[in-house]
Structure formats: structure tokens, C-alpha cells
Amino acid sequence: MTETSAADEQHIPSGVRRRSVLKGAVVGTAATSAAVALPTLAHAATPVAAAAGDHADLILYRGKLLTLDPGAPLATAIAVTGNRIVAVGTERDVMRLRGPATEVVDLDGRTAIPGLNDSHTHLLRGGLNFMMELRWDGLTSLAEALRRLKSQAARTPPPQWVRVVGGWSRDQFTERRLPTLEEINKATGDTPALVLFQYSMAFINRAGLRVLGFDRTTPDPPGGAIEHDAQGNPTGVLFAKPDPRILYGTIGRLPRLSFTDQLNSTQQFMREVNRFGITSVMDAGGGGQAYPSDYGVVQDLHGRGLLTTRLAASIFPQTPGAEYPELERWTRELAVDNGDDVFRIHGPGETLVWNGVDFDNFLEPIPVFPPEMEADLDRVVRNTVQRGWPFRYHASYDQSIDRFLGVMQTINRDVPVGGVRWILDHAETISARNIDRVAALGGGIAVQHQMAFQGDIFREHYGDRVARRSPPVGEMLRAGVHVGMGTDATRVASYNPWVGLWWLVTGRTLAGTRMRAAENNVDRLTALKLYTQGSAWLESREEDKGTLAAGRLADIAVLSDDYLKVPVDRIKEIESVLTVMNGKIVYAAGAYGKLAPAPLPISPDWSPVGRFGGYPRSGGTGHLC
């Protein structure tokens, strides 16, 4: 991919500065370092020290700290005591807090930012399965992907499957195509295999069809279709029509790890996202992720102080038609502000009623909800708002958003919906009218970078005019809507947040297509604020997260490159070399490697992670760069 010049990224005429609801953010200005004007340190850094006589537990110094604090946007040193920041400023001021037991780390000029907050991901489900999944995230060659599939099939023992479950795109490959069933069967042989493509379809090899018992008599399940050949036999392709229940159900039939290995897998996955500077996530729930049974692993780890990522988890009703009794019971039995700063149940979402969700399958027509959707949704949302719970609602298309907001306006006449934090997820084709309605009702929007992965397919189906404002991030910010950024990992897109930051700035797909119109891109600093302060607002934690300032939670990421100055296409290659969560170093690499806990052993021993690792490192085979 070619580099974007300053001229390419200059989206608004000189002198026109549009303010967003994020303090100091400028939407649509140039993303180059020259365009991000920050005060010099001498005028910006004002330390706030701890109480007299106190010593810090951790000091980072000689760095370039992007604090995102409008009163002091740049600093060179930061001090932490317990799980809170106690001072931010110059080395001279911060070093006053150094004591005999203080851990002092020289950043050697590296850039540090507030820990990233993924406002829409699926960490619980991803963690339970991480060590079983072969990731194609970040590969640029289908040939390499198939080579890895073959290698892993040879290593996977019965009754386990080799599984590729999301995080990749047809258009990231130089071949610009999906694998064929013939290629998958040739690579996997007698080892059962599943390859999931987005929430659109799945490929099952011949061995997998035998294990599942699919034959010519197997009926299509609700919400799905099984492809058959001319003789009536299943080919191995499953289609989500119109929702992914067939995909959820099929994956749910595959073997699971033991509880011990699920603990290990979840810790390994958290370490992997820590590697990219993520210190907080909002888990949006998901199909096949039942509460409370599938939350036991993170609750166990939290009870032992082993979570390395803050987690605000949603509860997702699993049974179509039974959403209200499930959610009513949970919102009645749980306290609204349950848990603590590291783990809590955040509220219902992202599915509230199954007949009112337009799963983002861009290979299918826009779904039309049944007439009873409004009444079903009203019942669930009204109960949720009355009990004071935050919630989130999944909708990609403006047609769906329009009907959802009609329900919200009806409820708002009786119970002000702005009294809770509520989130509209995705919103790819939201209209200007409905953006204004979200703002008027006090909601926020969680956007994700799935258009980097699916944008070319979306454009083929809906045309360039629609694609140019999908999603209209700049319009949302100019309308005063609170916007937070996330990934929707691990199935729809990759968990690598830096691909998302690159996408926010450039509006390009992984194929290099300039898809989103320039006025809906943002500059680098605004993009960073969406991944920190914006997500913190969605989580109702804006007073604790998103800024490096005294009194805030001590979540920090020290970067491998200068985010504001690196060439734009190298944004995707940035990683964290030192990640601090809750005042503790949870990940470190390179010169800092010995400062973090040692990696856990690979378990099970056949895990794809043991053979291929996680997301490919910069410069690695087939890396997306």
C-alpha cells in the first residue's frame, strides 16, 4: 500500500476548524504530525504530586507523553502509586516522588499514551477459544493462509477441529478472493475443519460434515441455509440467511477446552491485546456466550487478581422469544454498578430482541423487521431504563436505526432515556437525521473498523455514494455525539486496534480502496481520543480513564513508534513495548521484556498459537503492512 501524503490527508480547507465533543479534538484536519499542533512542554506540563512524604511505586521518565489532558497535553514523566496516577510533568518534578522501592523506567524518548479502550469487542468468547483458533489476521497471502491451515491440520489431534474463526478479509489477500472448498479439503484431509468468513458464511470440510452428520436429509436451520450440490449433498458451505444462528450453532457444536485450558487461553488472549496497548475493553456479548456460565473463567481470574485487561461485560439474551424474561431477571438480580474498576457486568446488549437486529452480513439484503418488533423492544428497553441500567443496541443500517429510535422516543416521553448511558453499535449507514436524534436522546455511538475488512464487499453491493459515508464518523462528531472506537473482534475484524486507528485516519480498506469520504475521516489525535476518551464516556468511566492525569487510573501504553509522526501506513504496525494496567506492568517487549511477568506455557501443546503466535509481527511472513 502506498503512503498517504499531507495533501491526501488534508480534508478541510485551511483555517476551518470543527470542534467535536471531545475536548480539543479537531475533526477532518490533516493527520500528519505537522498538523497536530501541541503546546511545548515548558507551557504544558503541570505536575500534581501525591501527598507529602509519599513515594511512587512506578515512575516512567524521559518519554513523550501524549496525555490527552487539554490543560497539559505533553509531559516527559509520570508517577504511579497503587492503581492511580499521582503526578504527570517533567522529570524534575516527578522524580521528587522517587523512593528506595520505586521502579524507575527510562522511556528513552518513546511515545506513551493512555491505555486504549476497545468499546466493542468479544474478549470473553475470544479468550475461551484463543488457543484453539488459527488466526489469519494480518496475513496478505491466501497461499500462506492455506499453508498454515495445512500445517495446523497435521498437528490437531482428534476430536479437535482446526478452526479459522474470523478476523480476516477476502480483500487483505493479494489474490483478492476467498479460499475454495477444494483448497480447504486438500489442506485439511481427515482433520475436521471450519473456516468462518465474517458473519456471512462458513466452510466445513468433508471430515467436518461427517462429524456433524450433515447429509442430504439435513434441513436448513432457522436463520441459515446449507448449500447442496446437483445431487443434493451438502457441499460444506453454510450461509447466514439472514442472521448468524447457523454459524453460532455450528461453532457451538465443536469441542471446547477444559476449564484449566480456558483459564490459560483467556490469559494468553489478554496478553495478546495488551501487546497492542489495550488496557480496557467493553465486551458486547454474543451468540453462544451465555450468562453466567461463560463468564466463570473471567470471574475466576478476577478473583485471583489475574485479569490484565479491564472488562465491562454485556449480557446477551441467547433465546429468541425469551429475551424479556432473561433480561428482566438479570437486571433485577444484579446491582447496576456491580463489580469494581477491573471487572463488572455493564448491562444488556448488543442484541436486545432477536427480531430487531440487522446482523452486519453485507452479502444479504437489508433485513425487514416484523411488525411486533417495536412492542418487543419497548418492553425490554423500558424495563432496562427504569432499572437504571446502561445498554447497547446493534444496528448497521439506517432503516433499523430509524425504528429503534422511534421506540426510544416513545419511552423517553415516560422515562428519560438520557438518564442512562446507552450505545448504538455500528451505525454504518446512519442518516444525518438519525445522528441528530441520537444526540437529542443523549446516546453514544460505538464504531468499529469492519469497513476496513468488508468495505469493498459493501461498496460492490451498495455503491460508492453510500460507501463514502459508511460510517459517517466526522458527521457524528460535528453533531455533538459521543463516539467511541472498537474492533468487534475476534470474528468480524481483527483485535489489532492500530488497524482501526489507521482506518479512522485514512478511510481506506485493506485492499487500499479509498472508500470513506474525506470529511468523515479524522486526524490522528482525534482518532486516539475516540479509542480512549470516547470509549471511556460510553462506559461511564470518563472521570477515571482516557487521560494521563493525576487521580486517573494508571493505564499506560508505551509505543514502538511515534504515532503522530510515523508514515500513515505504518500506523498499522505500531505495538506497545510496555503496557501498564491498574498500576502494574502487564506486558513488555524488547529492551523492557524482563519487566513483565513471563509468558504462560502453551496449552494445549497442539495450539496454533504455539506454532504461529498471534497477530504477525511487523516484518513477519505475510504481515499486513
pLDDT tens digits for 493-503?
999 999 999 99
Q: Which residues pair with 106 in a beta bridge?
A: 61
Q: What's the rounded mean pLDDT across residues 62-75? A: 96
Q: What is the pLDDT of residue 446?
A: 98
The CA distance from 234 to 227, in Å, is 6
Q: What's the rounded mean pLDDT across residues 540-544? A: 97
Q: What is the pLDDT of residue 53?
A: 58
Side-chain-facing half-sphere of 148: CA atoms under 13 Å: 27
Q: Which residues pair with 558 in a beta bridge?
A: 112, 578
Q: What's the rounded mean pLDDT across residues 164-176? A: 95
242 falls in which pLDDT band (50, 70, 90)?
A: confident
**φ and ψ at residue 484, rounded to 5 degrees:** -120, 150
Does 22 have pLDDT greater than 70?
no
118 falls in which pLDDT band (50, 70, 90)?
A: very high
CA distances from 113 to 308, 451, 531, 576 (A): 17, 25, 11, 10
Of 246-255, 302-311, 528-537, where does mean pLDDT reach its minimum?
246-255
The CA distance from 123 to 414, in Å, is 36
End-to-end CA distance of the chain: 7
Which domains does the chain carry?
121-255 (3.10.310.70), 267-546 (3.20.20.140)
Q: What is the pLDDT of residues 427-466, one digit of tens each?
A: 999 999 999 999 999 999 999 999 999 999 999 999 999 9
Q: Which residues pair with 424 in a beta bridge?
A: 393, 445
21 falls in which pLDDT band (50, 70, 90)?
A: very low
Q: What's the rounded mean pLDDT across residues 364-374? A: 92
Side-chain-facing half-sphere of 518: CA atoms under 13 Å: 12
Give the burial class of 340: count Cβ atoms within 10 A of its Cβ; 0-12 exposed, 13-18 middle, 19 or more buried.
exposed
Q: What is the pLDDT of residue 347?
A: 96
The CA distance from 404 to 377, in Å, is 8
Does 213 have pLDDT greater than 70?
yes
Q: What is the pLDDT of residue 34?
A: 34
33 falls in which pLDDT band (50, 70, 90)?
A: very low
Task: Give me the percent of the chain exceeding a pLDDT of 70.
Answer: 90
C-alpha cell at 618: 511487523
Q: What is the pLDDT of residue 223?
A: 81
DSSP classification of residue 569 = G
Q: What is the pLDDT of residue 14?
A: 27
Q: What is the pLDDT of residue 36?
A: 45
17 falls in which pLDDT band (50, 70, 90)?
A: very low
Does 2 have pLDDT greater than 70?
no
Q: What's the rounded mean pLDDT across residues 512-541? A: 97
Q: What's the rounded mean pLDDT across residues 301-320? A: 96
Q: What is the pLDDT of residues 215-233, one digit of tens each?
A: 999 999 888 999 999 999 9
| Three-state secondary structure call for residue 470 | coil
Q: What is the pLDDT of residues 293-306, one digit of tens each?
A: 999 999 999 999 99
Does 20 have pLDDT greater than 60?
no
43 falls in which pLDDT band (50, 70, 90)?
A: very low
Q: Which residue has the higher pLDDT, 9 or 404?
A: 404
The CA distance from 531 to 485, in Å, is 5
Side-chain-facing half-sphere of 379: CA atoms under 13 Å: 14
Mean pLDDT of the chain: 90
Does 288 have pLDDT greater than 90?
no
| Three-state secondary structure call for residue 54 | coil
- The number of beta carbons lying within 10 Å of the beta carbon of residue 170 is 19
The CA distance from 337 to 345, in Å, is 8
| Three-state secondary structure call for residue 89 | strand
The CA distance from 606 to 603, in Å, is 7
The dihedral region occupied by 311, where left means phi > 0, alpha psi between -120 and 50, and beta the remainder, is beta
Q: What's the rounded mean pLDDT across residues 262-290? A: 96
Q: Where are the beta strands (DSSP E) in 170-270?
A: 193-197, 201-204, 224-228, 234-240
Q: What is the pLDDT of residue 618?
A: 67
Q: What is the pLDDT of residue 364?
A: 84
Chain center to CA of 467: 21
